[in-house]
Structure 1
Amino acid sequence: MAQSAGVEIATHSPSGTPRAGRDLPIAIGVGVALLLVVAGSLLFRKEGFILVALLACGAALWELAHAFVRRGIHIPLLPLLVGTAGILVSSYTSGPEALLVAFMLTAGGVVVWRVLDGSGPAALRDAAAATFAAAYVPFMAGFVMLMLAQPDGDRRVALFVLLAVASDTGGYVAGVLTGRHPLAPSVSPKKTWEGLAGSLVLAGGVGAAGMVVAFGGSPVVGVALGVASVLTSTLGDLAESLLKRDLELKDMGTLLPGHGGVLDRLDSLLLTAPLVYLLLLVALPKVAL
């Protein structure tokens, strides 16, 4: 079951202290460190963020490949990693058309690679899983690169990341303090409606403040952006929870102490990236074009 999104139900220690299953001090330390890495890459030179994204996507694909092995599925990791670099770099340098073309080339490449390694039902299954992995991780991350490529791309990506942090933090706090009603008990029992409400409140506030401070835009647009990002973040996290449940995994990995795997951190971000990219493109047309 997932522990990455913040909409979590409270549990209690023997002393009565609420907790939600995380080693909180370690989780906070790792979270702050990740934010500093992202902020440093955006402040120093925004192209540096591409390297951060490449490392994150590569680690997420590595975790996904190892998780699929539990079901006898072996995806070709090398062409996926090469394709990931192509997708992210071409998206940043050449725009949406390049994102689509690079994804199609990556999907075709992994299929051909797997078929050349052997045919039969297993090859078809592995190729389908590899295509899913390419769509799930680097293709979705390509929309972050499209945001980054805008003249004010560093601010767009910063707002995108802060919305995710606000959704996670607001949901975690509200879920631990007041969570009583499970949101999707059959998929992720720890997520609650109270946690979702906390995510909506904090993300809406961060969206409003970010739109005004960073872009001089309307706070109403910022609230709408925050609310929409929470909805897609929650769907993304529930989707990964369903995948982990099928794979009989608690976390996708252990690379991030207190958080689980890298994909456990990226799941909600990946599904949210296309939405935030499109909404900012509409809300800030003069800057975007």
Structure 2
Amino acid sequence: MSPASMDTISAPTGPEPVEENRVTTGDVAAPPPAPKAGRNLPAAIAVGVLLGAAVLVSLLTVRQIFVGIVAIAVATGTWELAGALKRGANIRVTLWPLLVGGQAMVWLSWPFERDGLVTAFVLTVLACLVWRLPGGAEGYVRDIGASILTAAYVPLFASFAAMLVVAENGAARVVCFLIVVVCNDVGGYTTGAKLGRHPMAPTISPKKSWEGFVGSMIAGIAAGTLAVVFLLDGQWWQGALFGAALVCTATIGDLVESLIKRDLKIKDMGTLLPGHGGLMDRLDSLLPSAVVSWLLLGLFIPA
């Protein structure tokens, strides 16, 4: 859920840019350059604050409401990813089994945890295989492969966030997870925008820089250490490892979604959130980080 791309390099990666104040014809000036972040930053911040407030309210009141928020995000993200696959590559995922199965994964992970999640995932895959049969052989493997990818990438990963909140101190576990991911985004964005010079993956995400990654790592480790120590009574080294691991998974998640969008030749997964694009454009770093958060916190601080 970053307010913008995590980190922006200032050195151009393509042709030399036109001077910012150059006049085109007559007295008509060229339009001002786009913001360095490539997003409407005030709108992005406002949306991020509203989403964060909704999550905090749910965690501080009735934790099942947080599971409902995850379920809504799963349905929206699945819909957006299915639409992007259709627009970009004419891939027809089995949408209805994915929507129903995704809800089953999220809600069954609350009372039954891993057993409920795995059962729902397997049944969703089977439903996808059967649902696509009437469409014939042409594109069957492609469509089923994309459907299983969607089932794993969105509802399966997101369900680990729902399982975080099951424990007695589940609200604190979710807050630790979200704080680190947000600090990763903010640290990377601010550092990359000011100091970014060396692209991390120029063919995938030209605006990401190694300097921004260092900023993310510093912010993530600091946030993880403080969050785990003060919210979960853990050790400082556990928090530091937790923060570093989430910075890595958040970065990988962002790069994976960037590569998917490049393959599909689209800019955003959707247009739902002003200043952000689609909801999937904000879930990219959260989804894999939820899995690692559940694993590490379960190892370091058993419920």
Fold match (TM-score > 0.5): yes
CA distance in 2, matches of 1:72, 1:254: 19
Matches within 5 A, 1:84-123: 84-115=102-133, 117-123=134-140
| Alpha-carbon distance, 1:106 to partner | 0.6
| Alpha-carbon distance, 1:24 to partner | 1.0
Higher helix share: 1
The answer (yes or no) to whether the contact 2:55–2:66 under 8 Å persists in 1 is: yes
The answer (yes or no) to whether the contact 2:222–2:243 under 8 Å persists in 1 is: yes
The answer (yes or no) to whether the contact 2:225–2:239 under 8 Å persists in 1 is: yes
Choose which of 249, 272, 282 in structure 1 pairs with 2:289: 272
Structure-2 residue corresponding to 1:72? 90
| Alpha-carbon distance, 1:17 to partner | 11
The answer (yes or no) to whether the contact 2:80–2:270 under 8 Å persists in 1 is: yes
Could you list the runs of 5+ residues in structure 1 that have no partner in the other structure? none
Structure 2 counterpart SS, 1:128: helix
Structure-2 residue corresponding to 1:171? 188
Structure 1 counterpart SS, 2:39: coil
- Residue 99 of structure 1 aligns with an amino acid whose one-letter code is L
Choose which of 237, 243, 254 in structure 2 pairs with 1:226: 243
Choose which of 216, 228, 242 in structure 1 pairs with 2:233: 216
Structure-2 residue corresponding to 1:236? 253
The answer (yes or no) to whether the contact 2:3–2:41 under 8 Å persists in 1 is: no
**TM-score, normalised relative to structure 1:** 0.93
* Number of residue-to-residue matches in the alignment: 284
- Residue 40 of structure 1 aligns with an amino acid whose one-letter code is V
- Does residue 9 (structure 1) correspond to residue 4 (structure 2)? The answer is no
| Alpha-carbon distance, 1:147 to partner | 1.0
Structure-1 residue corresponding to 2:71? 54
Per-residue CA shift, 1:101-136, capped at 9, x if unaligned?
A: 110111111111111x32212233212211110011
The answer (yes or no) to whether the contact 1:9–1:20 under 8 Å persists in 2 is: no
Per-residue CA shift, 1:30-65, capped at 9, x if unaligned?
A: 111110111111111111011111111111111111
- Does residue 42 (structure 1) correspond to residue 56 (structure 2)? The answer is no
Structure 1 counterpart SS, 2:123: helix
CA distance in 2, matches of 1:229, 1:244: 22
CA distance in 1, matches of 2:4, 2:99: 24
- Residue 44 of structure 1 aligns with an amino acid whose one-letter code is T
Structure 2 counterpart SS, 1:19: coil
**TM-score, normalised relative to structure 2:** 0.89
CA distance in 2, matches of 1:215, 1:263: 29
Q: CA RMSD in A?
A: 2.0
CA distance in 2, matches of 1:11, 1:32: 30
Could you list the runs of 5+ residues in structure 2 that have no partner in the other structure? 13-18, 22-32
CA distance in 2, matches of 1:225, 1:4: 23
* Structure 1 residues 145 and 3: CA distance shift in structure 2, 3 A: closer
CA distance in 1, matches of 2:36, 2:235: 37
Structure-1 residue corresponding to 2:30? none
- Does residue 162 (structure 1) correspond to residue 162 (structure 2)? The answer is no
Per-residue CA shift, 1:69-103, capped at 9, x if unaligned?
A: 12111112111111011001111110112211110
- Does residue 200 (structure 1) correspond to residue 217 (structure 2)? The answer is yes
CA distance in 2, matches of 1:273, 1:43: 19
